[in-house]
């Protein structure tokens, strides 16, 4: 008696389906990506350029040690949630005049609402925040401090933009990103706010 042969299964279509499923999962699957801190590196300084002369009162020193303790001006230990207000008070002090251009002194900060303390920063374009961290500092603490400093600048810019243009700085940026028809005018407004409150943060790792 002849043995009956089992019918063969066409596996060609199965391979096609598996290939399509593989492509589908590759396209739709999201992967976690480590995010860093957005910073533009400074341009290389010309060899014959002399370093600017800084007044110590125009530098706010913030140091983080290996125990994640935050020290301001080498004397006061503070918490992360205090950094923002400390930075605002320093940047917005307005105790003197702006940068000197060709020997001509700048103008006082008439938009600043600080205490005008002669022992603190002269002008927002002179106010430098010097952040120093230890190699053993937790990355999360370091990022939290950076966020507070950025938030300080954002609050000052929002306040000034609201006063001058009726919209916050954040709203102006969103309007520009959305392709507003008055993009040129918006660009000028955004540039003006950034010029009056430039973000000047110096970062250094403790050796």
Q: What is the pLDDT of residues 91-112, one digit of tens each?
A: 999 999 988 877 678 899 999 9
DSSP 57: G
Give the C-alpha separation, 138 to 65, whole Å.
10
Phi-psi region of 77 (alpha: psi -120 to 50; beta: other; left: phi over 0): beta
**Structure-block tokens of residue 109:** 């900060």
DSSP 113: -
Rounded to a whole number of angstroms, the distance between the first and last alpha carbons of the chain is: 90
Residue pair 127/199 in contact by the 8 Å Cβ criterion: no
At CA 121, angle to CA 119 and CA 122, rounded to 5?
100
Which residue's entry shows tokens 């407004």?
Answer: 189
The model's pLDDT over 137-159, given as tens digits with 9 standing for 90+, comes to 999 999 999 999 999 999 999 99
Give the C-alpha separation, 103 to 80, whole Å.
39
pLDDT value for 184: 67
Give the C-alpha separation, 62 to 134, whole Å.
12
Confidence of residue 35 (pLDDT cuts 50, 70, 90): low
Instruction: Give the residue-averaged pLDDT of 113-133.
Output: 95
**Structure-block tokens of residue 144:** 């939290």
The model's pLDDT over 159-169, given as tens digits with 9 standing for 90+, comes to 999 999 999 99
Give the SS3 label for residue 181.
coil
Give the C-alpha separation, 201 to 59, whole Å.
10
Give the C-alpha separation, 73 to 82, whole Å.
14
Give the C-alpha separation, 25 to 45, whole Å.
49
Does position 127 have pLDDT exceeding 80, yes or no?
A: yes
Look up the pTM and report it.
Answer: 0.76
The model's pLDDT over 63-84, given as tens digits with 9 standing for 90+, comes to 999 999 999 998 889 999 999 9
pLDDT value for 75: 86
């Amino acid at each position: 008696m002849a043995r009956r042969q089992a019918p063969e299964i066409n596996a060609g279509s199965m391979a096609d389906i598996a290939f399509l499923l593989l492509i589908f999962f590759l396209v739709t699957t999201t992967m976690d990506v480590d995010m860093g801190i957005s910073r533009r590196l400074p341009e290389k300084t010309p060899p014959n350029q002399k370093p600017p002369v800084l007044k110590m009162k125009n530098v706010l020193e913030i140091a983080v040690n290996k125990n994640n303790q935050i020290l301001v001006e080498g004397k006061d230990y503070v918490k992360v949630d205090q950094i923002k207000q400390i930075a605002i008070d320093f940047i917005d002090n307005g105790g003197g005049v702006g940068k000197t251009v060709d020997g001509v002194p700048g103008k006082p900060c008439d938009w600043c609402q600080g205490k005008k303390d002669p022992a603190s920063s002269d002008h927002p374009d002179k106010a430098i925040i010097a952040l120093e961290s230890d190699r053993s500092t937790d990355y999360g603490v370091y990022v939290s401090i950076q966020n507070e400093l950025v938030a300080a600048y954002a609050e000052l810019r929002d306040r000034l933009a609201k006063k001058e243009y009726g919209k916050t700085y954040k709203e102006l940026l969103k309007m520009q990103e959305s392709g507003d028809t008055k993009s040129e005018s918006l660009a000028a407004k955004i540039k003006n706010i950034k010029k009056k409150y430039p973000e000047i943060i110096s970062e250094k790792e403790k050796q």
